[in-house]
Amino acid sequence: MPLRALCLALVAPAWAVRVGQAALPHAARVPASALLMQARPLEGKVAVITGSSSGIGLAIAETLAGAGCDLVVHGSRDPSIMGELEHDLSSQNDVKCKYVQADVSDMEQVTALIDTAVATFGKVDILVNNAGIQHVSPLADFPEEAYDRVMNINLKATFMLTKFCLPGMQERGYGRIINIASVHGKVASVNKAAYVASKHAVVGLTKVTALEMAGTGVTAVTVCPGWVLTPLVQKQIDTRAAASGRTIAEETKALVSEKMPSGEAVRTKDFGKMVEFLCSEAAAQITGTEIVLDGGWTAQ
Ligand code: NAD
């Protein structure tokens, strides 16, 4: 048993009675084993989170590690600069964590990513397809290479990784495919032809995955974010600020308010909690659908 779990097992009964439970009638007290499960509900599970070296993916990795899940953290950056992240995630959460570098526009590297995950941890229970890129251009000028790159990273890698993970998940009777798409999987915006097409396709791919896996314990869900202030969006804010002459802060506020009635960007940590919930037993029947975190963007 990992050290942190062991410590919790030793202290939980006394702690549970001291903190709050003493006031409860005996029948309402929570058994220590249940408290342990609440503390580390994903203990024993293995997750692969693509694009988890920054932004939304990193926040998901941090939350799943906190829930006791072993992790493959992935990105395009050199492993020599990712050792610290690997070390921090594993030591702070008493889980195993491996960073894998793979360019997911290259399907050989996509295959190698899953091979490494299975060779390291023996299985993949949770696949979060999060790596994604954007290219902004009017359709008439949209470069073909940019279109292919967006489609390969946002859609084809999601298809391939899902395909590789499903048989093992089905065999074990538990699996979660969580595809981070976008509000642009539901509605469109100008100048984002490849991105909008790829994210709409991810919504469709998730539905097919859910139908094919129905009743097996494997679910597939699309998560659709509105604006989240990550490096992917920062590039768009910088371009807009350069064109408008506004400050970065003014441009950020304008960008978010144009689309989101809440006037507030979604926080990266909110995706971690949402994904943790989707991995739980309570979410076993949430499949083939979209969870939208967009401050009201798509309600309009
Ligand atoms: P980000 O740029 O911070 O993170 C993207 C991640 O994908 C990085 O870890 C990067 O290394 C990885 N990645 C990109 N291309 C890759 C490649 N070829 N090979 C390997 N890794 C690659 O962006 P983010 O905002 O955190 O985006 C995460 C996901 O959320 C994306 O799919 C994005 O489309 C989606 N999304 C973001 C927003 C937003 O406002 N930030 C809104 C809707 C959807």
Binned at pLDDT 50, 70 and 90, residue 223 comes out as very high
Between 1.20.120.1200, 3.40.50.720, 3.30.56.10, 3.40.50.620, what CATH number should domain 42-226+266-299 receive? 3.40.50.720
- Ligand 1 pocket test, pick from 48, 53, 54, 56 with the greatest ligand atom count within 8 Å of Cβ, gives 56
Is 21 a residue whose pLDDT tops 50?
no
Residue 36 is which amino acid?
L
pLDDT reported for residue 232: 86
DSSP string, 222-268: EEEE--B-SHHHHHHHHHHHHHH---HHHHHHHHHHHH-TT-SPBPH
What separation, in Å, do the N-terminal and C-terminal C-alpha atoms of the chain show? 50
Q: Is the CB of 114 under 6 A from ligand 1?
A: no
Q: Read off the pLDDT of each residue in 201-210 and give the average, rounded to a whole number.
A: 99
Cβ 78 under 6 angstroms from ligand 1: no
Residue 14 has pLDDT above 60, yes or no: no
Per-residue pLDDT, 33: 60
Amino acid letter at 143?
Answer: P
Nearest to 218 by CA among 288, 157, 119: 288
Q: For residue 4, what pLDDT is reported? A: 47
Query: What local confidence, expressed as pLDDT, does residue 38 receive?
Result: 73
Give yes or no for residue 10 having a pLDDT over 50.
no
Residue range 47-60, pLDDT digits in tens? 999 999 999 999 99
> Is residue 202 pLDDT above 50, yes or no?
yes
Which residue's C-alpha comes closest to atom 34 of ligand 1? Answer: 132
pLDDT per position as a tens digit, 64-95? 999 999 999 999 999 998 999 999 999 999 99
Residue 241 CA to residue 247 CA, distance in Å, equals 6
Q: Where are the domains of the chain?
A: 42-226+266-299, 227-265
In percent, the amount of the chain with pLDDT more than 70 equals: 88
Cβ of 295 less than 6 Å from ligand 1: no
Q: What is the DSSP string of 53-79?
A: TSHHHHHHHHHHHHTT-EEEEEESS-G
pLDDT of 25 above 70: no
The per-residue pLDDT for 20 is 41
pLDDT at 263: 97
| Residue 26: per-residue pLDDT | 54
Q: Could you give the CA distance from residue 88 to residue 42 in angstroms, rounded to a whole number?
A: 18
Tokens of 204: 């469709």
Confidence of residue 11 (pLDDT cuts 50, 70, 90): very low
- Range 119-130 average pLDDT: 98
**Residue 274: pLDDT above 70?**
yes
Q: Could you report the per-residue pLDDT of 246-255, keeping only the tens digit for each? A: 999 999 999 9
Rg (CA), the chain: 21
Q: What percent of the chain lies above the pLDDT cut of 90?
A: 85
Q: How many CB atoms lie within 10 A of CB 244?
A: 11
- Tell me the three-class secondary structure of 150-168, residue by residue: HHHHHHHHHHHHHHHHHHH
Q: Based on the residue annotation, tell me whether 195 is a catalytic residue of this protein.
A: yes
